[in-house]
Structure 1
């Protein structure tokens, strides 16, 4: 008779299946082992608990915990760490926190670095960053010492929550406790400071990094390049790239793509193309994001044929189109008045089984409205809803703006009034569009009422709103009321545009 495999062999098999992410298979094998009375040990049960947790069945994981005691086993730190992870995966954040605190107060087991990191990571991902921050403070009074990874998790989450000063305080505490920050620690804070535009603090932090013998890697440099580019600080971004090259830090696809994007956005499309063309010579293959950025640059400059040529090159380079590439090209075609080509491209997108998102549909509707194809735009609104893509405020703003420009104020007003029933709150642009059209059509009192409603809803008039209102009042020969609006406009720090000034001069002096 063939000898039965040892429990250690089954454990190895279960571990291999879990590593392959075949959790359901591992779960079935565990059930078979129990039904066939194959011996199982503490390791087997920990593997089973892990499977149940990864299948979002932490309740079954706790049922296995009951088996521990029945079989005379003592749950260990792996058991509890896994159950805590399972609770977080099942969005049971409070239960996970309670279980962890119970481990500490009842001394059920000694938490290790994995347990602490699991708790920190789970809390931060669930948006409970300050709870994680407080727990780190609690550890100061115990023998448990969180490692650099736990600190990094909390620091990164604080920075993402724009609480960079607290992240800097935690960095200082970390250093005081003899825990050495690494490049990941500093990269998170650099990103946080860049997001807030605190350039002097960024510079000081980089000097501190050098003092601690931590040198910027390509990821940290990319954060700086990206931040400068988003601020339109092209020269500063170029300087960072120059420093990278001086230090023999290899620029990667992200660095090049960021530069392509910023050159495209500021209209330096030929420079963007030079960067793009230089990539293969550096052993780098442009990504689909690189292509989308350059296509966008060409479209913004009105060089749609060059954008189209680049778009067609994508599959020849072994890349797959994505929704962003199609949406970018769609916008370029519609802005150039090439509606037929735009509609054809939209159909081609479906043929490639790429699902348009709300941004794609908004681009399509805007293109059609821009080219006075309002009825066609409304037909796509219905298709959009049928496809389960929910229109947003921008969708309706686009359609309402198109209707107003086409002189269809009644339909626009009806659509505007339906927004609350769709769970949407009009924004300042939408209010301004309707108010402007009401003034233009001579519905002065209704425009006044809507302006009051807009302010009550929390939308503060901007420069465009004031200009639209003043122009509407001037058109209605209401010079005194227009002057009141003009005075208020100046008090709010806005100025009349050329059209408003021209109309004022015409009424005052002519």
Structure 2
């Protein structure tokens, strides 16, 4: 570009820089920037900030600060966008303390007035780095500036508090933002609902849903699914069904995630018939189905691999192995390819049910080239499940063969397998295995 006559202007250089940056070719963009500095085209504030951003995205925020020096040499004053870029770069480089210091310096020295991007950059960076309480405190500091924190900043801190198991603090902050006239959105409420469910505070979670409705917040399927999933994991399927009824009343269509959660819940409490009916009520099967999901087919909710794996797990847990294999054939007929989780579930069910011969046959089918291409090669779980099944039947020699094969494939036995091996070796009271063999455990 330096050979072009006349040489490109700063505007043309900057346009080209933006095209290259959109392609995420940051090093190429910086090479262009260097060419520009060697030409007669003087870089302006925008171009310098673009260069700083490139260095930050390459985790070289130190070079970004070097470019900042060029601002002053050229008589430019860096604006809030420039400082936002540097703050974000420091967070990207895991220099959390430096990012916080730079932000506070902006305020104390009045280098620039922070904007909404500044606030969100600092809050988001601190929360991602695990400095939630610092972010919480900074919200108060931001309130004293001309640019107040918005719903996104509050939601970020609330979500981080919930993930840090400080749900009561999150509820207090939720109340505080409402008092300040900032309306929480669906993201804010969903974070708190998830936090409450994680602590088994079901009533509080349901009350919060009611509060959302009262505030005319449009509760979506994601928020409802949080409650349905939480209830099902605790075996509280009746409560989960109540939530689904509310969904239907509010014209929120349950999706595959909803169905997977319910199937998991029914399987957990041994209500396999309900789980089967629910799966049957989804497209591809013709049955009456669960009452709550009579219109599921019209809503285009399709069972996926997770749905089938969940039901297979429930069937195996309830020793309904024949039913499980029946559903394996059904899912294949419907074009849903089993994965290694599917086969691990079936092998574990067979081992627990004492049908080791079928488990052996199924295991031997996995290493085939066709199985490997479909992602069904045996993994660590497969070997551990098989070895546990063999050891429970006191088949030490065969378990040893599996252990050797497991080691050859680079997998390690889990703590349960190691413990079972050691217990049975003590019971044998012999040197059946060499020290080398037991070391593999």
Q: TM-score range by the shorter chain?
A: 0.7 to 0.9
TM-score (ref. length: structure 1): 0.72
- Greater mean deviation of Cα atoms: 328-337 or 90-99: 328-337
The one of 296, 309, 317 aligned to 1:292: 309
Q: Distance in 1 between matches of 2:75 and 2:428?
A: 79
Three-state SS of the structure 2 residue aligned to 1:347 is coil
The one of 180, 183, 200 aligned to 2:186: 183
Match of 2:263 in 1: 260
Question: What do the CA deviations read for 1:413-443 (whole angstroms, capped 9, x no partner)?
Answer: x89x989xx9xxxxxxxxxxxxxxxxxxxxx
The one of 208, 213, 219 aligned to 1:210: 213
The one of 194, 197, 201 aligned to 2:197: 194
Question: What do the CA deviations read for 1:95-129 (whole angstroms, capped 9, x no partner)?
Answer: 11111111111122111111111111111111111
1:382 lines up with 2:407 in the alignment: yes
Answer 1 or 2: higher relative contact order, Cα 8 Å, separation at least 6: 2
Match of 1:399 in 2: 418
The one of 141, 144, 162 aligned to 1:141: 144
Q: Distance in 1 between matches of 2:125 and 2:377?
A: 32
Match of 2:385 in 1: 363
Match of 1:332 in 2: 349
Question: What do the CA deviations read for 1:79-100 (whole angstroms, capped 9, x no partner)?
Answer: 2212222222222211111111
Q: Is the 8 A contact 1:339 1:368 kept in 2?
A: no
1:301 lines up with 2:318 in the alignment: yes
TM-score (ref. length: structure 2): 0.82
Three-state SS of the structure 1 residue aligned to 2:367 is helix
Instruction: From the superposition, tell whether residues 354 and 346 of structure 1 become closer, same or farther in structure 2 (CA, over 3 Å).
Output: closer
Match of 2:251 in 1: 248
**By how many angstroms is 1:253 displaced?**
1.8
Instruction: Name the Cα RMSD after superposition.
Output: 3.2
Q: Distance in 2 between matches of 1:131 and 1:83?
A: 19
1:108 lines up with 2:136 in the alignment: no
Q: Distance in 1 between matches of 2:32 and 2:428?
A: 67
1:130 lines up with 2:130 in the alignment: no
Q: Distance in 2 between matches of 1:59 and 1:365?
A: 54
Q: Distance in 1 between matches of 2:148 and 2:163?
A: 24
Q: Distance in 1 between matches of 2:118 and 2:65?
A: 17
- Greater mean deviation of Cα atoms: 153-162 or 12-21: 12-21
Q: Distance in 1 between matches of 2:324 and 2:164?
A: 38
Q: Is the 8 A contact 1:257 1:290 kept in 2?
A: yes
Q: Is the 8 A contact 2:272 2:315 kept in 1?
A: yes
**By how many angstroms is 1:310 displaced?**
4.2
List gaps (5 residues or longer) in structure 1: 423-510
Q: Distance in 2 between matches of 1:35 and 1:327?
A: 63
1:66-85 to structure 2, matched below 5 A, reads 66-85=69-88
Q: Distance in 1 between matches of 2:336 and 2:13?
A: 43
The one of 343, 356, 364 aligned to 1:344: 364
**By how many angstroms is 1:257 displaced?**
1.5
Q: Is the 8 A contact 1:368 1:376 kept in 2?
A: no
Q: Is the 8 A contact 1:260 1:294 kept in 2?
A: yes
- Greater mean deviation of Cα atoms: 146-155 or 53-62: 53-62
Match of 1:64 in 2: 67
Q: Is the 8 A contact 2:366 2:377 kept in 1?
A: no
List gaps (5 residues or longer) in structure 2: 284-296
Tell me the number of residue pairs that the alignment of Structure 1 and Structure 2 aligns: 412
Match of 1:494 in 2: none
Q: Distance in 2 between matches of 1:244 and 1:2?
A: 67
Q: Is the 8 A contact 1:167 1:189 kept in 2?
A: yes
**By how many angstroms is 1:225 displaced?**
0.4
